[in-house]
Amino acid sequence: MNTIAPYPRRQLPDAPLLATIAGRATSRRPVWFMRQAGRSLPEYRKLRAGTGMLESCFTADLVVEITLQPVRRHDVDAAILFSDIVVPLKAAGIDLDIVAGTGPVVATPVRSAADVAALPLLSAEQVEPVTNAVTTLTRELGDTPLIGFAGAPFTLASYLVEGGPSKNHEKTKALMRSDPATWHTLLDTLADTTITFLQAQLAAGVDAIQLFDSWAGALSLADYREFVLPHSTKVLDAMSPAGVPKIHFGVGTGELLGAMGEAGADMVGVDWRIPLDVAARRVGPGKALQGNLDPAVLFAGWDAVESEVRRIVAEGDRAVEGGAVGHVFNLGHGVLPDTDPDVLTRVVELVHSL
């Protein structure tokens, strides 16, 4: 596993996103959107035509252009690196593909100690197209921060064990409960892979990182604490020497927010199921919050969208009064593919005006 070598980092003291996470006053409330780089943008679909998702993620000039598109269009306060949760697994040599309409599909699922022992480890050289893209992006973005991206160990494990997306995660939970030693070895291995992937992005110059745990909301609080939290903590702790803000997000994790707040991130993402001021009490003081407009509301017409944006901004203010160090406006999950990009632009303008 690599360590973060000393390297020059961009100084962005006035970037609203970075200042808000650090608890400093800003000229405007920062806003960015998860999955803003792609899907809903016609220019993205045109650029991606005929190119598979994973091929796109390993083509540096495509990664650069797709990452920049929403910054140009929406005036968001951060770029999020265009990537996918399974990119480091694919780079390491695991046989998988992203199947349209299904998601990541793993050719040989991982379900035994022998399967775990056979997993290849990732080296930074294997994600060179990604790091090359990061280097270019930090030149192109000017004063806009670039957020690096990786999936959390539990979510990676779920794809590997299930063989693809799952509603119930029965095979994952069965391995977790029936063979805890193998489970923890698997997540420790995946934590190392995630650390290598994020450290490579940090060495290339990202200004913040987000650890994305798509499926953690499928777990009880007790299971999360025992089987997941130590491994997410390991990843986030390994990022600390770089001195960049760390963001942690999961879907359906309202009941897990207290534990997620202990994992070591500087900002915790909140989905739309729980008010931000309630989330602030659960996460605990001293951390920023990110969220949490329901992505489906963007289809409801502007009056409904505006009302919800104003409500969330007010909740964010109450969260700060309750101990959060700041609020970054975002969705409570990713932008849905059929979202009207003009609505997203109007949301950014509204948040910046409030």
261 near 246, Cβ under 8 Å? Answer: no
Catalytic entry in 35, 73, 111, 282: 35
Give the residue extent of every domain in the chain.
16-353
Is position 35 annotated as part of the catalytic site? yes
Report helix angle 302-321 to 276-283, nearest 10: 30
Catalytic entry in 9, 10, 48, 281: 48
Map residue 151 onto helix, strand or coil. Answer: strand
Catalytic entry in 84, 97, 115, 188: 84
Token pair 């996460």 is at which residue? 283
Query: In the beta sheet, which residues pair with residue 336?
Result: none
Residue 7 is predicted with a pLDDT of 55
Across the chain, which has 354 residues, the per-10-residue mean pLDDT values are: 57 94 95 90 93 94 97 96 95 91 90 96 96 96 96 96 91 96 98 97 96 95 98 97 95 96 97 96 96 97 98 97 97 95 97 96
Q: Is the peptide bond before 292 cis (omega within 30 degrees of 0)?
A: yes
| Distance (Å, whole) CA 2 – CA 64 | 24
Token pair 């022998």 is at which residue? 114
Residue 146 is predicted with a pLDDT of 97
Catalytic entry in 73, 77, 111, 159: 159
Span 332-353, pLDDT tens digits: 999 999 999 999 999 999 999 9
Is position 224 annotated as part of the catalytic site? no
Q: What is the sign, positive or negative, of the torsion defined by CA atoms of 257, 263, 267, 271?
A: negative
Residue 164 is predicted with a pLDDT of 85
Written in H, E and C, the secondary structure of 54-120 is HHHHCCHHHHHHHHHHHHHHHCCCCEECCCCCCHHHHHHCCCEEEECCCEEEECCCCCCHHHHHCCC
Residue 68 is predicted with a pLDDT of 97
Q: What is the DSSP letter of 331?
A: E
Map residue 328 onto helix, strand or coil. Answer: strand
Is position 223 annotated as part of the catalytic site? no
Q: Calculate ∠ Cα 152-245-329, nearest 5°.
A: 85
Is position 28 annotated as part of the catalytic site? no
Residue 103 is predicted with a pLDDT of 85
Residue 36 is predicted with a pLDDT of 87
Residue 8 is predicted with a pLDDT of 62
pTM to 2 decimals? Answer: 0.95
Span 219-242, pLDDT tens digits: 999 999 999 999 999 999 999 999
178 near 107, Cβ under 8 Å? Answer: no
Is position 159 annotated as part of the catalytic site? yes
- Fold type of domain 16-353: TIM Barrel (3.20.20)
